[in-house]
Structure 1
Amino acid sequence: MQKLVYERPYIKKLTAGVMNKFGSRSGGKPFEYIDNVSVKSLIASYGSPLFVLSEKQIRRNYRAAYRAFSTRYPKVQFAWSYKTNYLNAVCNIFHQEGSWAEVVSGFEYQKALGNGVPGNKIIFNGPGKTADELLLAIENDSLIHIDHLEELNQLIILAEGKPNKPRVGIRVNMDTGIYPIWDRFGFNYESGDAWAAILKVINSGKLQLAGLHCHIGTYVQVTGAYGIAAAKMASLALRCKAELQHTIAYLDMGGGFPSTNTLKGSYLPGTDTMPTIDDFAEEITGILTKAGFAHDELPLLILESGRVLIDDAGYLLGTVIANKRLSEGKRATIVDFGVNVLFTSFWYEHQISPAQEFTPNIENMVVYGPLCMNIDVIRESINLPLLNPGDNVVVHKVGAYNMTQWMQFITLRPAVVLIDEQQQVHLIKAKETLDYIERDEHVPGHLK
């Protein structure tokens, strides 16, 4: 008698729902449309895999976030985080909605200028600004957030002889109860380094201290951490007024608000556990309004939100290549996109939906990409209906970071399309070609 192959048990939170004779139907109905546009038609027109962005959802997210803060605080300004998704079409949606640009490199700074953002509405963050990039930012009257002492000294030298003082902010890091502390960037609050940097700016006489900036971390799930940060930022601003007779024009609280993606290792889904943008707004604005500012001297509140504004507006469409059984007996499904394209599969347990009718038979399986690398795992464990080669799938909430952190490795990067508010489809980035990849290669004559 042949011994049965052992398959390890899998524990998953039960989801209540109508049952039939086969059990509960996981995943509900197939996900066949995005903003009333057929998934199958998108793949037929633009190929597989394919990124799809919903303009309607992007605008809805931005307006909800702006409303959450502006109804609680009188002066609010968002600045779109270019590193989250710097496709020009995406950036221009946010700029149309009134967002400034927040950039962290000279490359992103040039993109913002190219998108028509006035220099005085560009915030230049990051630790790696070159002298030429700083000069460009000075000439365009951009807000330059100083990250370290060397940059501060360099700015003082570059400002020599300029007709107008460059507008700068001091980036502050601090203990907010989130560990490890993000102390790599900026000047520390507790040690007094931030105050020393403020004094150096003021005493130089060559720079205009316009504001204070912090970014306490990424995917922060505790609203209270932002309350602590807001209180410490407000205390610095009030100290500037009391001891230096200098008014801080703005406080930039950075980003870091989570989307509703489910982090790896989480038992409950992100939709059930993540604070809402209203929760963060309530915490931050509540602290600032009670901090002790004179009513006519309330600083402008700047937010640099990224993923919370776009993650759920992005989808990745793909196709099943094959199925197989692993040595342990577990089912494995191979799809035509890998971690080189879906970088956030290292972070999240992405929801995956079939894009066509499926059988009620559900099985726990691993979903692999097509790369010749053992790390190419899209989902280590997921309950899905049995999928056949040629079937299509939709990965949800992929709008943030995948189109900036993706890489050309083994396979070409796919096209990106945008569905506008009138349900028209626009190609906003073409699929890569071999000619594109080899364009900058040069082969020495003796190797031809």
Structure 2
Amino acid sequence: MEADKEKLLQGSEFCFRSGRLYCESVNIKDLQATVEKLYKSPFYVYSKAQLQKNISDYCTALNQSGLEHKLYYSVKANRNLELLRIISSSGCGATTVSGFEMQIAMQAGFPPCNILYNGNGKTMEEIEYAIRQGCMLNIDSQFDAAHILEAAKKLHKTARVLLRLNPDIDPNVHPYITTGLRLSKFGIIDQHLPTVVELVQSSPCVEVIGLHCHLGSTIDDLGVITSMCTYLLQKTRELREKGFGSIRCINIGGGLSIDYKREGGAVPTPAKLIAEIQKKLKGEKVQIILEPGRSIIGSTAILVTKVLGVKSSPSKTFVVTDGSMTEVIRPSLYSAYHHVDLLDYTAVTGDEGDKTLLDIVRARQSQICLLYCISEYCVFFTQQA
């Protein structure tokens, strides 16, 4: 059993050694005892080494691809300041979805010129802040274009923008995290694109530097990325012919899935993703922008919780932990899978073949949130004495 556990997390900075879970060189059970003297349970544990490896995987593949490129981190995935400082020090840019995220990205060291302000509901105050600071913005709709033009004119500044397009491509993920279908709230559909183009062409205060698409999250079908690249390349050529010679970027978004189920090789790696992009865009006069979030930060963390007790009914057995939706919302929000395991198997007795299906439940809505935002990859809990 120990050998199987050690193989399960092979290649990760979270691994079992002699039946105990470690993060890098730290025994998590020992860490739990230390942390609970200062704080309360539950708490997150992050691996700096894993974070740096995840960034390096993208950078290495991009550098080997021969594509002109820029790697941006999607701040909404986790905006913890210390983590952002590590990411900014690696040379990444930042994609943000609010004025607060722009502020914290700059506080973490991201240069404003490498910050992109995205979203379909930007306020005028946030738009003006982005333009004043020199951040890029995505135009998501007709009214969004009008607001950005108005703000740029008021400030007497040129806004650098990307047009976020809606390609109507199904990424085959949960509807709640699908963003590139015609029924999605994000992006400019083809029917409205001529109106937006006419608006921005009429203003000297806007420079269209690129196009952008984002299809959704937990993507494991690289074929949809290939289709999106084809779509973006076609639109780039069409708009350049209409006089948009300043278009030099294609932002392919993020959304790559991670190995939640510990199946090893079942989820595409950054290298495979970039290899597919290279097939479509190599030789084209464009800079590729990728903005991953989950696949940068997701595997860097665990949530450590404690079992408060076990209760049974005729049809179910509930293991009640001190975690809650505050710490891990995705399973309840859209039935997402999260791996659950023990921190320490050394005291486990009994026949390994005897298995019982359990419901892992949370005790309450926690009043404690140690970090700005959660990074869910797996949940580990300890047996209560």
Q: Same fold (TM over 0.5)?
A: yes
Q: With structure 1 as the length reference, what TM-score do the two structures score?
A: 0.71
Counterpart position of 1:446: none
In structure 2, how many angstroms separate the alpha carbons of the residues matched to 1:278 and 1:188?
30
Query: Do the aligned partners of residues 154 and 415 (structure 1) sit closer, same or farther apart at CA in structure 2, a change above 3 Å counting?
Result: closer
Give the alignment partner of residue 32 of structure 2, picking from 34, 40, 43.
43
Please report how far the alpha carbon of residue 133 of structure 1 lies from its aligned counterpart in structure 2 after TM superposition: 1.2
Choose 47-56 or 67-76, whichever is displaced more: 67-76
Q: Hey, which bits of structure 1, 4+ residues long, moved more than 4 A?
A: none
Question: For the aligned residues, what is the CA RMSD?
Answer: 2.4
Q: Give the whole-Å Cα distance in 2 for the aligned partners of 1:38 and 1:150.
A: 53
Determine the structure 1 residue equivalent to 2:226.
227
Cα 1:325–1:54 change in 2 (3 A) is: same
Match of 2:186 in 1: 185
Residue 94 of structure 1 deviates from its aligned partner by 0.9
Q: Does 1:366 align with 2:353?
A: no
Structure 2 vs 1, CA of residues 230 and 117 (structure 1 numbering), >3 Å: closer, same or farther?
A: same
Q: Distance in 1 between matches of 2:324 and 2:170?
A: 36
2-structure distance, mates of 1:58, 1:112: 17
1:280 to 267, 273, 280: 273
- 1:106 aligned residue: 99
**TM-score calculated relative to the size of structure 2:** 0.82
Q: Which residue does 1:204 correspond to in 2? A: 203
Q: Which is worse superposed, 201-210 or 88-97? A: 201-210
Q: Distance in 1 between matches of 2:220 and 2:230?
A: 18
**Contact 1:156–1:204, Cα closer than 8 Å, also in 2:** yes
Give the drift of 1:211: 1.0
Please tell me whether residue 68 in structure 1 is matched to residue 23 in structure 2. Answer: no
Aligned 8 A contact 1:254 1:305 in 2: yes
- Which of 286, 293, 308 is the matching residue for 1:306? 293
Instruction: In structure 2, list runs of 5 or more residues that go unmatched.
Output: 6-15, 176-180, 373-385
Name the structure where helix makes up a greater proportion of residues.
2
- State the number of aligned residues: 342
- The answer to whether the 8 Å contact 1:53/1:313 transfers is yes
Task: Name the residue aligned to 1:412.
Answer: 367
Cα shift at 1:344: 2.6
Amino acid at match of 2:187: G
Distance across 2 between alignment mates of 1:74 and 1:89: 30
One-letter amino acid of the counterpart of residue 166, structure 1? A
- C-alpha deviation, 1:101, in angstroms: 1.2
The answer to whether the Cα contact below 8 Å between 1:338 and 1:368 also exists between their aligned partners in 2 is no
C-alpha distance in 1 between matches for 2:317 and 2:155? 66
Determine which structure has more spread, i.e. the larger CA radius of gyration.
1
3-state secondary structure, aligned to 2:20 = coil
1:312-327 residue pairs with structure 2 within 5 A?
312-327=299-314
Counting aligned pairs with the same residue, the percent is 23
Give the drift of 1:301: 0.8
Q: Retained in 2: the 8 A contact 1:257–1:308?
A: yes
Does the residue aligned with 1:159 lie in a helix, a strand or coil? helix
* C-alpha distance in structure 2 between counterparts of 1:109 and 1:253, whole Å: 20
Corresponding residue of 1:242: 241
- Residue type of the alignment partner of 1:116: G
1:416 Cα deviation from its structure 2 partner: 5.6
The unaligned stretches of length 5 or more in structure 1 are 1-15, 19-26, 263-268, 373-408, 418-448
How many Å separate the matches in 2 of 1:217 and 1:98?
25
Q: Does 1:160 align with 2:153?
A: yes
Q: Which residue of 2 aligns with 1:388?
A: none
- Structure 1 distance, partners of 2:211, 2:244, is 16
Which secondary structure does the structure 1 equivalent of 2:217 belong to?
A: coil
Q: Write out per-residue CA displacement over residues 97-147 of structure 1, whole angstroms, 9 at most, x where no aligned residue.
A: 111111001111111122232211110001121112111111111111011
Report what 2:82 is aligned to.
89
Q: Distance in 2 between matches of 1:69 and 1:117?
A: 20
